[in-house]
Structure 1
């Protein structure tokens, strides 16, 4: 009887099963019941936060004309030239600080504002920079999302590109590249070839495992392909959208190695954990709860495989 019900459940709930299967891969980053594992501890790695001082932000020149702006947990970059300024991702609640930071460097007007993607935490203060003289640039999918949201704080883009877009100002060219769906539809790469700098947000924070569910990715496999595409670009330093500092290319490779290790651990965990064994030990008769227990068990096994590394 149980197996008949199980077959019926799988047959009528393919979407749930598909989502759950992907969640097994996610489980290597986070388990909903990680407290079951008694040996969770720190690996001892720690970075002290760069003092923000009274200003409330940290500003660093990455290369001629290119500046890194951070409020501690969030960051972006801007480009200052004699023909004007290009800003990226005006962080929610930090727009006034970004204006002050730009004012430290130049009195040239802002000409372009680039959205890496549509999420409000990264572009929630875009309205503070919007004007008839500022062209907003984003990938088509980001534009579609913002039209749907109808959020006055996130004005819709004027320029909506597909796969690639080149923006040149003051002798500097920024290449915008859309590698496909991953963390979010429209999540794009910003590459400044002449300065060997990349900005790729929310997916490869230096010295960090990805945020929950691999940064809430919509397509983990394409996200991995996207990171591979970024790594093929010519750059030395990258801006990840989070953390108090920029990262080095070798640190992006390091984070990507965690993606690969998680993928391998997921496959191995699936081999080791038997659904039948989980069912035998379970006290629930609810099929959805049972499948949840199975996923939790796989996630915990995935953690055990990864931990020695």
Structure 2
């Protein structure tokens, strides 16, 4: 029996936590859903990934207001996916920051991604009517920029392609806190539908070179020791390599997408099936891995229609 499409049948409420990591860094975790980061500097607040809608962002706003009356000054988008960026309007921040490649992706496919993700995650997009439209940056950067929040140095870095072509991380060098976005997951399945799978391990190596003491992942709770940071990066890399190697083997044997899906998913499930959103991600992950192994360098645009057609092909045969 085929599974329900994506996460359309996931309706239960998730446990939320808001925890302080260092003097300036906080993490907002919603049990298996996208994780957000908060940096509180001398002169204001930075939010890293905004929640899916302005209504969904209200809980995070309330929790920040309970610990500081400083204004929201910056919103940083780790990448363009709707579930992470469309709550930005809630904060009234002075600046919205993203990499130039992320800005390009918003222009190229932002609306299609909005429509696609709203269909995949109806629970996360409750209050969709509160979204005023696509989230556009006020500041873009190519490889790296530094923001001084009073005496606190905040580095915003585009380390390379991985989860998307525009991935951005936020790094607090004095406290060695890394906000990785979906380049690193913790107990959650990496979504790779828009990924560059061959590049991703090299990008993770650049994150390793920072030697983080704390790591706030795209999904899951924060890591609070160097050893746990490395374990999360290694786990993400292991999944990415296994996914791509399985798809490459199938493409090399002239297998169809359905054949690759049917052979690779059970192998991945043995090791990673307990990670959150595993079933949700697999059709999208295998589709992109198959394309990249077949020589399609840049991810094809997902639309609500393509989502459903792909899911039916792979789940129903």
How many residue pairs get aligned? The number is: 236
Q: Does 1:242 align with 2:216?
A: no
Indicate the residue corresponding to 1:70 in structure 2.
Answer: 29
Indicate the residue corresponding to 1:220 in structure 2.
Answer: 197
Deviation readout 1:62-104 (Å, 9 max, x if unpaired): 1002211223323211122331111111111421111101101
Indicate the residue corresponding to 1:172 in structure 2.
Answer: 152
CA distance in 1, matches of 2:28, 2:58: 12
CA distance in 1, matches of 2:269, 2:86: 39
CA distance in 2, matches of 1:166, 1:143: 18
Indicate the residue corresponding to 1:192 in structure 2.
Answer: 172
Residue 181 of structure 2 aligns to a residue whose secondary structure is coil
CA distance in 2, matches of 1:184, 1:128: 25
Indicate the residue corresponding to 1:139 in structure 2.
Answer: 99
User: Quick one: structure 1 residues 128 and 141, their matched pair in 2 at CA, closer, same or farther if it must change by over 3 Å?
Assistant: same
Deviation readout 1:241-298 (Å, 9 max, x if unpaired): 212x2124433433444434763797599779994xxxxxxxxxxx8xx534542465
CA distance in 2, matches of 1:255, 1:98: 25
Indicate the residue corresponding to 2:121 in structure 1.
Answer: none
User: Quick one: structure 1 residues 88 and 298, their matched pair in 2 at CA, closer, same or farther if it must change by over 3 Å?
Assistant: same
User: Quick one: structure 1 residues 78 and 304, their matched pair in 2 at CA, closer, same or farther if it must change by over 3 Å?
Assistant: closer
Indicate the residue corresponding to 1:206 in structure 2.
Answer: 186
Deviation readout 1:143-189 (Å, 9 max, x if unpaired): 22233436844431111000111111121111111122221121111
- Contact kept, 8 Å, 1:262 with 1:302, in 2: the verdict is no
- Contact kept, 8 Å, 2:39 with 2:46, in 1: the verdict is yes
Indicate the residue corresponding to 1:231 in structure 2.
Answer: 208
Residue 247 of structure 1 aligns to a residue whose secondary structure is coil
- Contact kept, 8 Å, 2:85 with 2:135, in 1: the verdict is no
Task: Please say which structure displays the higher CA radius of gyration.
Answer: 1
Within 5 Å, give how 1:35-114 maps onto structure 2. 52=15, 57-72=16-31, 73-93=33-53, 94-114=56-76
CA distance in 2, matches of 1:169, 1:273: 49
Residue 211 of structure 1 aligns to a residue whose secondary structure is coil
User: Quick one: structure 1 residues 145 and 267, their matched pair in 2 at CA, closer, same or farther if it must change by over 3 Å?
Assistant: closer
User: Quick one: structure 1 residues 194 and 302, their matched pair in 2 at CA, closer, same or farther if it must change by over 3 Å?
Assistant: same
Q: TM-score w.r.t. structure 2 length?
A: 0.64
CA distance in 2, matches of 1:89, 1:301: 32
Q: TM-score w.r.t. structure 1 length?
A: 0.65
- Contact kept, 8 Å, 1:265 with 1:302, in 2: the verdict is no
Q: Does 1:263 align with 2:241?
A: yes
User: Quick one: structure 1 residues 239 and 223, their matched pair in 2 at CA, closer, same or farther if it must change by over 3 Å?
Assistant: same
CA distance in 2, matches of 1:273, 1:88: 38
Pairing partner for 2:78 from 116, 122, 126: 116
> What is the CA distance between 1:235 and its match in structure 2?
1.5
CA distance in 2, matches of 1:265, 1:218: 12
- Contact kept, 8 Å, 1:265 with 1:306, in 2: the verdict is no
Gaps of 5+ in 1: 1-32, 35-50, 276-286
CA distance in 2, matches of 1:180, 1:211: 17
When the two chains are superposed, the root-mean-square deviation of aligned CA atoms in Å is 3.3
Gaps of 5+ in 2: 4-13, 115-131, 273-317
Residue 231 of structure 2 aligns to a residue whose secondary structure is helix
Q: Does 1:181 align with 2:161?
A: yes
